[in-house]
Copies of this chain bind each other. A is one copy, B any other.
């Protein structure tokens, strides 16, 4: 009898890591594979963490986050969305990803199903599978001008085993931003069927269309509904290496959330939390300048890749990814390996973002514009040869 769970033995690297591992840090490769820019975290944020180290903030603190950062999150979220969130709902998490794990722990067990609105980031599927749950993918539709959520598709995917719906808005990899009406309708559907809702809003400030921040389930859902709104510092403030997120959870779960914070990783790195607070309090200029950079970069992607005759590319509304469909592409991983070897450009294979994406690639467009253009022109050359 196998000692290690079969589900674990079967785990494979994502279509991102399969290509990237082994070439990470190769200076010849222009990396468009991971969800980050080439900008180090702003100095004022790093300085805040260094000052915390100088003050000796190296001890255990509250597992759900330091009092200062939790208060800072309440102030930030209340201001951003015009809310008055119950403080008990807010936790700091050791990465947004860990908050996905916590939400899955709260909602899923062996034999359950979770609907993943896709295309979606592959680690979410693994987090659900670790709990023994099966993912049922519901794909956004290309409505001719934008990605869009067809609620009937979600409704049709619900079975007696469905326990939760996961949605990511603004979306990695499509750049879709859920409209308020889409969000309210999805929440209503979850209410009618007694489903938990996991809303990953980590790109809430990476917005090109409509209001900044993007519409949030914090605005639609009640204090104590089974809705988990997940977010983090990585994407708005260039803090990917900090491994720090936050979550807003149902009010009555205050004690379970403390236990889960403790037993998953006993909180985020303590002195890093001082950096997070600085980001919330003094980071608006950086957020705005980063959105401007990526908006400009989006235009470059549309011009260089979107205009190619073999490409269909809906203009990203948010986040910082393009998810073009390439005519005739049937093996997205092979194409990414070719792009790495021949064009020295790192991109992510479409298949990893769920079923029906084998014809796509994901391009992260957060790096400096001219280097991005160089990489995109190389990719365009490959497309010409297809």
Interface residues of A (CB under 8 A from B): 1, 3-5, 7-9, 11-14, 17, 21, 24, 34, 36, 40-41, 46, 49-50, 53-54, 56-62, 94-95, 97-98, 101, 105-111, 123, 126-127, 130-132, 163, 194-196, 226, 238-244, 250, 253, 255-256, 258-260, 262-272
Least CB separation from A130: chain B residue:
B105
Distance between A213 CB and nearest chain B CB, rounded to angstroms: 23
Known A-B contacts: A4-B106, A17-B258, A132-B132. Give 6 more (CB < 8 A): A3-B107, A5-B106, A8-B106, A41-B56, A49-B53, A58-B239
Find A3's partner among B97, B194, B255 (CB 8 Å cutoff): B194
Residues of B within 8 A of A262 (CB): 14, 17, 97, 123, 126
Question: Known contacts A49-B53, A58-B41, A94-B94: does B3 contact A196 (CB below 8 Å)?
Answer: yes
| Chain B residues positioned under 8 Å from A131 (CB to CB) | 131
B238/A58 in contact, CB under 8 A: yes
| Nearest-neighbor residue (CB-CB) of A55 within chain B | B40
User: In the docked arrangement, what's the CA distance between A244 and B270, Å?
Assistant: 11
How often does this chain occur in the complex, in copies?
Answer: 2
Chain B residue nearest in CB terms to A196 = B3
Contacts known (A36-B60, A132-B110); A194 close to B265, Cβ less than 8 A: no
Q: Are A260 and B50 in contact (CB under 8 A)?
A: no
Q: Are B258 and A243 in contact (CB under 8 A)?
A: no
Assess whether A61 is in contact with B270, with CB atoms less than 8 Å apart: no
CB contact between A243 and one of B11, B56, B266 (< 8 Å): that residue? B266
